[in-house]
Structure 1
Amino acid sequence: MFGGTLAGCAGGEEAPAESGSKQEAPADAPAAEPAAADIDFADWDAVLEAAKGQTVSWYGWGGDEARNNWINTVLAPALKEKYDVTLELVGMDINDILTQLSGEMQAGVEEGSIDFIWINGENFYSCKENDYLWGPFTDYLPNFNDYIDPESPEVLYDFGSPTEGYECPYGKAQMQMWYDSKAISDPPTTVEAFKTFCEQHKGQVTYPEPGDFVGTAFISCLIAGVIGKEEFEKLSSMSEPTEEAVLEVVQPGLDYLRELNPYLWKEGATFPADSSTVATMYADGELVLNMGYGAPQDLVETGQLPESTRSFIFDSGTVGNSNFMAIAANAPHKAAALVAINEVVSPEMQLSIYENLSGISVLDMERLPEEDQQAFADVPLGETQIPLDELLAHRVSEASGPVIPILEKLWLEQVAQA
């Protein structure tokens, strides 16, 4: 997930080409790519034809080597072989990406350097509000129409911002908790059991201070367990929330969190500053529980956690969010961007993401043919990984972006400072 907000106008744009007399193209020169205005994007065959031979750029955070390797060795060859589309992965910080996009848009560059972007949250909202994105486009995508539930809150909203077809979901993440099964035989799967667990392991349980995204997500899981999934998910679609409106929803959950304090590390008088600190405390044996987005299978496989590590989620569910793909308003290769995005959300590629990156699929499993459903079910899992169908059946939509700082403020006032 990208962080940051929309950057300002970037300076130093390229100088325009010098004017001069036009030269006729040689007879064997390749035909010019069709202009976007000449393509009927609702005709998928026309999109495929227009995309042939195009090189499409995918901009996004480049710090995940496993993801980069998957894109370059699995997705890119498939696009080339099946559609004659060349995929160029451009890894950049999101603030630099948005500076580049906004600079080109504000300078009136009709064909920019960015085709599509890995984006979500406030960055999507800012780009869409400034008309920096092209769309709506999801209705053009066969795989979106066939395999994704368009009425899912996680498709309709991106941290509370209506997507309105300007984004296609790419992958999901979901909170999980883990423990050493040699020390803990019965993990707490309800909020009632979690309170008892904290009492039994007094001083050995805590969570990152909300403000850290894992800390905020963890208290969201507990609050959702107290008030119920349906009530908590009211927070996911609040675009202009007031403190009073948020408090009305979460008050019972805040009361519960306050009741936990006497049994937590340092009796809840203070909380670790971030998830890295909690991870270190857990690895050192100071804590009996840790939490984060996704299972810690890689930590087990690299020997950082014992093979007896196991994961669990609450029966009431755990919060999750989605990453999205959006197309720049001045993308020079919109047809190829559509083809690439459509391929990412194909059953074949979503299965590959699940197999290779442990990413949760954005597809609605019930819409898939039985053989594809079985293929997902047959993926071998590590000891810490929870089956996909179990995760999706216990998934709670996160609070919207505007709600998050309010929730953190309420926690600080009613839990930390109580």
Structure 2
Amino acid sequence: MRQDCRGKGLMRVVRLVRDGCSGMVAECGGLRGLSWWCRAAVGCWLLVLAGCGGTGSAGNSQQQRSVTSDMSWQQIESRGVNSVVRVAMWDGDPLINQYMAGWVGQRMEQYGVTLEFVPLHGQQLVNRLLVDVESGRQAGELDVVWINGETFFQLRQMQALWGPFVDRLPNAALLNLADDQIWLDFQRPIDGYECPWGTVQQALIHHAERVRTPPGTLSELTDWIKQHPGRFTFDSGFTGLTFLKSVLLQFAEDSDDFSGAYSEAVYRRAADRLWAWVREVRPHLWRGGQTFPQDVAQLHALLLSGEVDFSMSNNDGEVENKVREGILPESARGYVPVFGSIRNTHYLGIPRNSTNHAGALLLINFLISEEAQAEKLRSEVWGDGTVLDTARLTAPWDARFATADQRERVPSRAELRRRALAEPAAEVMLRLHQELRSEILDSGESAAGQP
């Protein structure tokens, strides 16, 4: 967790649970394809698994905190109070950390629920739960996981998630499940195995004093990059891949090509054109396309230092709080180009071997409450879009949501949504991740590195 003034205060509030013995496998990259020494280490670990904290946190025995199908919400509440809920989440943003550990943590005290945070997400989280599944571990170390897309896809394939549970949450009645980009996660129905938590759309961020009229179409962006060598790039992490995904969709032969299940033929046709486009503009990118920022934080730093004129964010509201924090320049403005950008939803799931299903349900139900959703909608708190159906909100919440969603440096969410692109199947992101490296980063012509 970042050790700035927020991080130091946060450490007094939250206990970060360090990787236990199963973290060994997360470091090794999963059970399959390991080096010989890592396989040996994992084998030894599996032999002693029963002695490696398998009973979970104190007071969270499965019998005490389990939930059966015939339980009422009142019974679930009674079973979940006075317990520890262990949350696996990305911990790279101090504002999100403060919202969860500070604001949410304080309000969960009404249930006597203590939150512990484990800095796990993406493939490391998948690896951790893969170990549990393949070893048959019944008492896991996690109760709530922050997931979406390819992570959800992999966890469902592994049968590592508990559910369906969303219909059991009283606050689920307000979820906007009529929205295809909420009830579908990367084209896969959530089926009650993960609960919508927030929704965002990627925005390009430009320096408004140097780029008075940002390019709208892909053709205009291509021309701008060539006419302003070194002033545009994308990172090699999740945000950059999402940008490339938006460009990929422009090369589909039909607008519905990427709807529904993954098609290798559809992907291959569009991907070949995508990589041809990347090679076309690459000599005109920052540092001649010989290196790329490793993540969006480095890309933001390049915009702040004046090395480039563009950054980007998967959260369309992030430009507001990052300017306030001094991470982006005052002149930074966000927009969605005419060719559109990916909009997606992030979710909360419950591992099948959680020892505190009841406590997990209490936390998730609160996180989708009107109070919690309105708080994180505020740009100074997080700026995360709501998954609630705002048309069904009644006083005073309708007015509070309208006030919380005021923005100065990026158009309204309703305006951006007119250019929203739906996430394609999770396999697309996995293939882009592989091919960005094989086609570009590891091609011998460039490499991802420090700015």
- TM-score interval for Structure 1 and Structure 2 normalised by the shorter chain: 0.7 to 0.9
The count of corresponding residues between Structure 1 and Structure 2 is 389
Check if 1:272 corresponds to 2:302. Answer: no
- Contact (CA 8 Å) 2:198, 2:346: kept in 1 or not? yes
Larger radius of gyration: 1
Say if 2:248 is the partner of 1:218: no
Q: 2:255 aligns with which of 228, 231, 242?
A: 231
Do structure 1's residue 344 and structure 2's residue 367 form an aligned pair? yes
Sort the Cα spacing of 1:290 and 1:141 in 2 relative to 1 into closer, same or farther, 3 A: same
When the two structures are superposed, what TM-score results if normalisation uses the length of structure 2?
0.71
1:309 maps to which residue?
332
Normalising by the residue count of structure 1, what TM-score does the alignment of the two structures yield? 0.76
User: For the structure 1 residues 116 and 305, does the alpha-carbon distance in structure 2 shift closer, same or farther, using more than 3 Å as the test?
Assistant: closer
Equivalent residues in 2 for 1:7-156 (5 A)? Answer: 7-8=30-31, 11=46, 12-15=48-51, 36=66, 38=68, 40-41=70-71, 43-81=72-110, 84-94=111-121, 101-149=129-177, 152-156=180-184
Cα separation, 2, equivalents of 1:297 and 1:4: 35
* Counterpart Cα distance in 2 of 1:130 and 1:212: 25
Q: Which amino acid aligns with 2:199?
A: K
Q: Give yes or no for contact 1:76–1:87 (8 Å, CA) kept in 2.
A: yes
For the residue of structure 1 that corresponds to 2:142, the secondary structure is coil
Q: Tell me if the contact between 1:54 and 1:86 (Cα under 8 Å) persists in the aligned partners.
A: yes
CA distance in 1, matches of 2:145, 2:282: 45
The secondary structure found in structure 2 opposite 1:72 is: helix
Q: Contact 1:120–1:323 at 8 Å: present in 2 too?
A: yes
Q: Which residue of 2 aligns with 1:289?
A: 310
Aligned AA (1:79): M
Name the Cα RMSD after superposition. Answer: 3.9
Contact 1:309 1:383 in 2 (8 A): no
Q: In 1, distance between residues paired with 2:119 and 2:269?
A: 40
State the identity as a percent: 21
Are residue 202 (structure 1) and residue 232 (structure 2) matched?
Answer: no
Please list every run of 5 or more consecutive structure 2 residues that lacks an aligned counterpart in the other structure. Answer: 1-25, 32-41, 54-61, 446-451
2:300/2:327 contact within 8 Å kept: no
Give 2:88's aligned amino acid.
Answer: Y
Counterpart selection for 2:409 from 384, 398, 410:
384
8 Å Cα contact 1:143/1:346 also seen in 2: yes
Q: Give distance in 2, aligned partners of 1:262 and 1:70.
A: 39
Return the alpha-carbon distance in structure 1 between the equivalents of residues 332 and 438 of structure 2: 32
Query: Shift of residue 51 of structure 1?
Result: 2.6
Q: Is the partner of 2:115 in helix, strand or coil?
A: strand
User: 1: distance between equivalents of 2:294 and 2:144?
Assistant: 32
**Per the alignment, in what secondary structure is the counterpart of residue 296 of structure 1?**
helix
Report matched runs for 1:162-173 at 5 Å.
Answer: 162-173=189-200
Please give the alpha-carbon distance, in whole angstroms, between the structure 2 residues aligned to 1:16 and 1:227: 50
Residue 368 (1) aligns with residue 393 (2): yes
Gap regions ≥5 residues in structure 1: 18-31
Please list, as runs of the form range in 1=range in 2, the aligned pairs for 1:391-410 lying within 5 A after superposition: 391-407=416-432, 409=435
Letter in 1 for 2:382: L
Q: Distance in 2 between matches of 1:107 and 1:221?
A: 39
Residue 354 of structure 1 and its aligned partner are, at CA, apart by 1.4
Partner of 1:246: 267
Name the SS of the counterpart of 2:387 in structure 1. Answer: coil
- Give the secondary-structure state (helix, strand or coil) at the position aligned to 2:359: helix
Contact 1:177–1:291 under 8 Å retained in 2: yes
In the alignment, which residue of structure 2 is the partner of 1:177?
204
**Equivalent position of 2:351 in the other structure:** 328
Q: CA deviation at 1:102?
A: 4.5
Structure 2 partner of 1:29: none
1:20 paired residue number: none
Cα offset for 1:63?
A: 3.9
The SS at the match of 1:314 is coil
8 Å contact from structure 1 (residues 198, 264) kept in 2: yes
Contact 2:303 2:329 in 1 (8 A): no
Please report how far the alpha carbon of residue 300 of structure 1 lies from its aligned counterpart in structure 2 after TM superposition: 2.4
Q: What's 1:359 paired with?
A: 384
Distance apart, 1:167 and its partner CA? 1.0
Assess, with a 3 A threshold, how the Cα gap between structure 1 residues 317 and 366 changes in structure 2: closer, same or farther: farther
* Compared CA separation, residues 372 and 108, structure 1 to 2 (3 A): same
